[in-house]
Amino acid sequence: MKKTKWIWHPGSFELYHSMLLHNRRTTSKTYADGTRKSVYYYPMWRIDSPHHNAILEKKATTKKPETLKFYANTETANMVVDGIAYSVGSEVILEAGEHTVCLQGFKKDGFPAFYVEGDTFKTDREYVVAEGDYKGRHAGYSNYYTNPTDEVEKFKFLYKKVNPVSKKQINGGVLFDFGKETFGKIHLSGLDGEERYVSLGESYEEAIDSAYSELGLNVEGKCYDSEPVAFRYIFVPDTSKCEACVDFEYLPLENRGSFKCDNELINVLWNVCAYTMLLNSREAFFDGIKRDRWVWSGDAYQSYFVNYYLAFDTDIVRRSVRMLRGGDPIRKHINTICDYTFLWISSVWDYYLHTGDEDFVRDIYPDILDMWEFIEPRLNSDGMYERKPEDWVFIDWSTFDESGPICAEQMLLARAYESMAKFAHLVGDTAWEKHASECFEGIVKRTNELYWNDEKGAFVDDYESGKENVTRHANIFALLFDYTSEERKEKIIKNVIFNDEITKITTPYFEFYELDAMCKIGNFKYMTDMLNSYWGGMLNLGATTIWEEFDPTKKGIEHYEMYGGKYEKSLCHAWGASPIYLLGKYALGVYPTGVGYKTYEVKPNLMCFGNIEGTVPTPNGDIFVSLDKEKCEVLSPIDGGTLILGEKKYEIKKNEKLTVEI
């Protein structure tokens, strides 16, 4: 039997936590008098409120009497049973028969939530919105909140006390090192009570460079407890006696995915990626844990894929998707970035493919329709993306020819339409299915016509400017999404990917797409070389988490500089964790071919390794795969699998170890 859940107006939980988390970023500033202080730093996009009202109902016929017990997080709430309003704490006996239970409430400083113990009428997704814009939409819920004593507005983090691994006197103060990047509430004690700026650092250099460190604490008093914050080092100035520890704050996510091979650097890398993910897996998938601690759609998009090969937590994906969608009306692209809107739509399809969670697709479908209502009137007469003054065209931290609508955006728009056609098919919206399919095909066709440059043998950023600028990005999307001919793909690989004159990717963000594309076309060496050199390069510099950007040509503290700030770069950025996805999908070789792993393939590949082994999570258990030069073993808890080794295929039987000698 399904658990009773706390329920609320759909999206309220996510809008509430999104509002809180997007409003707690801080940064440090130096003032005219030389003092440095931590101040709040707000997003440039609209932050929406949760609905402070909710009205949810369920109509059903009960076959036997049942007792309803009503809980709510606000005293103003009513449980209206067949027209009679009962207040919080009421117990009502229902006779067998037809009934309507309506839950209503208002909460000024949060969102109203309800919990009804009962049988047929226990609270869960089956309740629907009874009035207003969202009429008929299913109640919001979280699998975290299933107990009547739960406090739904308090996010369910766990805490663990962590002490520094070292402490030393330096520059007239004390420097604490926690051994690796961490996140939590800092406790300082043994202070003299004087006001001071305590400097934090993801690097040693940042922490002791108080005048420039990105994050710090405005400390007063002899003891001090901070809000949760990210750091590895703490520097407390003007003291020799201070003590520090941290309440490490985290989600109890289990790493169901695993990977091991005979290359220890890669094993370390995998763990560093997993830890990077853990730190950034919170109310939603964050970009970075020092900065911005915000939910960025393109960043989250990649975290979803890593998650499908690591914790396989479906709640955090749903939360992220809803937070990114925000409230109504949609007046700007998600995070103001057009590519992030297109990726948001695609991400829901990937979620469905990996999890088989049809309820969520149905629940979010009206929100996706609203998104298209925003997107479509802004397309040009060919149905292609055209930049509006308020749009941020991101794609990557790289230089594009942005005079006109750039090629990579068209590919992401096509991808969104391709996903949309599939959603529409799923929910039986035939008009939209037809429309989205046509738009998808039209954009792919026109992009190939307009942006392909025969002389360059590549897609150019822009077809109107005459600059014929080639960047890797659109060309990578063409490979990855299969949006061009085999002949053109060959040309792209030669003229773009293996062409050193084309600016290299410097962000792990776009390495995700590049390496995914290269693996997709079977060039695994390109990927493993990059893990060793690019990711390995960060590990060699002592990284305990993956960085936002990495340029191997830089030296010393140059590595920490970004956006014009000496230490503004994030050294723990989720978009660096893609090796987990790449190794799970292409080395262990496990991926769904049917929705929710109803069917799947295991196509392991040793790549440059002597042996590999690991697990890949699915909605119904973890698939174990090992491979060396002699044999391959697969053990799977689910039906529907096919092991592919070279040209040969083997059926994988549920719970029976399959061993194939090579």
**What does the binding site for a copy of itself look like in residue numbers (CB under 8 A)?**
19-20, 23, 29, 31-32, 37, 39-42, 44-47, 49-53, 55, 76-78, 84-87, 104-106, 108-110, 131-133, 328-329, 331-332
Q: Based on CB atoms, which residue is closest to a copy of itself, 315 or 390?
A: 390
Q: Based on CB atoms, which residue is closest to a copy of itself, 47 or 128?
A: 47
Distance between CA 480 and CA 347 in Å, rounded?
15
The answer to whether 562 and 569 are in contact (CB under 8 A) is yes
The answer to whether 232 and 202 are in contact (CB under 8 A) is yes
Q: In the sheet where 600-602 sits, what is the strand order?
A: 590-592, 600-602, 641-645, 648-652
DSSP letters along 502-517, please?
SPPP-SHHHHHHHHHH
How far CA 294 is from CA of 231, 500, 562, in Å, comes to 16, 34, 17
Q: Based on CB atoms, which residue is closest to a copy of itself, 205 or 370?
A: 370
Instruction: Give the type of residue at 512.
Output: F
Q: Based on CB atoms, which residue is closest to a copy of itself, 329 or 556?
A: 329
φ and ψ at residue 26, rounded to 5 degrees: -125, 160
Q: Based on CB atoms, which residue is closest to a copy of itself, 19 or 606?
A: 19
Question: Least Å distance between CB 23 and a copy of itself?
Answer: 4
Question: Least Å distance between CB 384 and a copy of itself?
Answer: 26
Question: Least Å distance between CB 46 and a copy of itself?
Answer: 5
Question: Least Å distance between CB 52 and a copy of itself?
Answer: 5
Beta bridge partners of 573: 288
Beta bridge partners of 510: none
Angle of the 407-427 helix axis to the 358-375 helix axis, nearest 10: 130
The answer to whether 38 and 218 are in contact (CB under 8 A) is yes
Q: Based on CB atoms, which residue is closest to a copy of itself, 95 or 487?
A: 95
Q: Which residues contact 264 (CB under 8 A, 6 or more apart)?
A: none
Question: Least Å distance between CB 134 and a copy of itself?
Answer: 9
Nearest-10 Cα torsion for 83, 84, 89, 91 = -90
Question: Least Å distance between CB 39 and a copy of itself?
Answer: 4
Question: Least Å distance between CB 335 and a copy of itself?
Answer: 13
**Of 22, 78, 36, residue with least CA distance to 213:** 36
SS3 282: coil
Question: Least Å distance between CB 431 and a copy of itself?
Answer: 18
Q: Based on CB atoms, which residue is closest to a copy of itself, 378 or 525?
A: 378
Residue 37 CA to chain centroid, in angstroms? 31
**Residue whose token pair is 């479908």:** 365
Q: Where are the beta strands (DSSP E) in 164-242?
A: 166-170, 173-189, 193-201, 216-221, 224-236
**Of 249, 191, 272, 261, residue with least CA distance to 21:** 249
| Surface-to-core class of residue 126, CB atoms within 10 Å of its CB (0-12 exposed, 13-18 middle, 19+ buried) | middle
Question: Least Å distance between CB 133 and a copy of itself?
Answer: 5
Question: Least Å distance between CB 37 and a copy of itself?
Answer: 7
Q: Based on CB atoms, which residue is closest to a copy of itself, 52 or 69?
A: 52
**Of 289, 315, 284, residue with least CA distance to 301:** 284
Q: Based on CB atoms, which residue is closest to a copy of itself, 291 or 559?
A: 291
Question: Least Å distance between CB 91 and a copy of itself?
Answer: 12
Q: Based on CB atoms, which residue is closest to a copy of itself, 336 or 403?
A: 336
Q: Based on CB atoms, which residue is closest to a copy of itself, 92 or 406?
A: 92
